Amino acid sequence: MITYQLGSNPDSTQNAVLLHLKKEGEMTVQALCDILDITAMAVRRHLQVLTNEGLVESRVVRQSRGRPSYSYRLTTKAESLFPSGFQNLAMDLLDAVNEQSGQKGVMELLMARNRKRLGRLKARVENKTLRERVEEVAKIFLEDGYMTEWEDLNDGNFFIYQQHCALHDVAKSYRQVCVLEPQLMESLLGVRVTREKYMLKDDPVCGYLVHSGETCQSELS
């Protein structure tokens, strides 16, 4: 499972497959064989793993003769694995605030952003059950570039986990980003949320336990 952003020098064959699909848009098995210098069987095995993880999808390409072939491309979910300028912009802005106002100023800026986001997002969770709100919150984070999924737990609680953090590099310098994330979830869900897994402590994911029986008033509300 890939939980980090990919650079221009892939460290595994699967990452190389993703990188070439990103560059070319769509590729056949044969095209991947040629560029990776591996067998068709090996390419199909890697594509199957990536498809199972929701990172690659295929479409049928019909030909004038013979059997149709398949062309492979990245899914929307896979796009979040590649770096964008957003993190650089966020880091530059926070660095500038930190130089002017210190860590307190950084926290105030991030809290103001969260309150603004909350105002925009609250309508998406109104008049919904907790289960529907959890699903919507996971969707919101997915739209922001996080690889987010959720599940029901046997005890009636829920678990939201992120396999990729859209602000991972920013969070390494400014942990305030991580502090405010569960607060935003609490404000949207109306119940207590605790972080149980944390990538910056070498866990494979960031994971949040949604306590269905514990209503709360978030600091952002």
**CB count in 10 Å sphere of residue 186:** 24
Domain final residue, candidates 59, 79, 99: 79
Query: For residue 3, is it within any domain?
Result: no
Domain match, 151 and 74 both:
no
156-190 confidence digits (pLDDT tens)? 999 999 877 778 888 999 999 999 999 999 999 99
Query: What does the pLDDT average to over 28-32?
Result: 94
Query: For residue 6, is it within any domain?
Result: no
Query: For residue 158, is it within any domain?
Result: yes
Domain final residue, candidates 28, 50, 79: 79
Greater model confidence, 136 or 24? 136
Write the CATH number for 183.
Answer: 3.30.1380
* Tokens 């930190």 found at: 98
Q: Among 4-18, 59-73, 115-129, 130-144, which is the least confidently predicted range?
A: 4-18
Domain match, 94 and 58 both:
no
Distance of CA 28 to the CA centre of its chain: 27
Query: For residue 5, is it within any domain?
Result: no
Domain match, 167 and 144 both:
yes
Domain match, 94 and 195 both:
yes
pLDDT band at 218 (very low <50, low <70, confident <90, very high): low
Cα–Cα distance measured from residue 194 to residue 85, given in angstroms and rounded to the nearest whole number: 30
Domain match, 42 and 101 both:
no
> Which domain, by its residues, includes 35?
13-79
Q: Are 51 and 58 in contact (CB under 8 A)?
A: yes
* Mean pLDDT rounded to a whole number for the chain: 87
Contacts of 92 (CB under 8 A, 6+ apart): none
Domain match, 52 and 160 both:
no
Query: For residue 49, is it within any domain?
Result: yes
Write the CATH number for 23.
Answer: 1.10.10.10
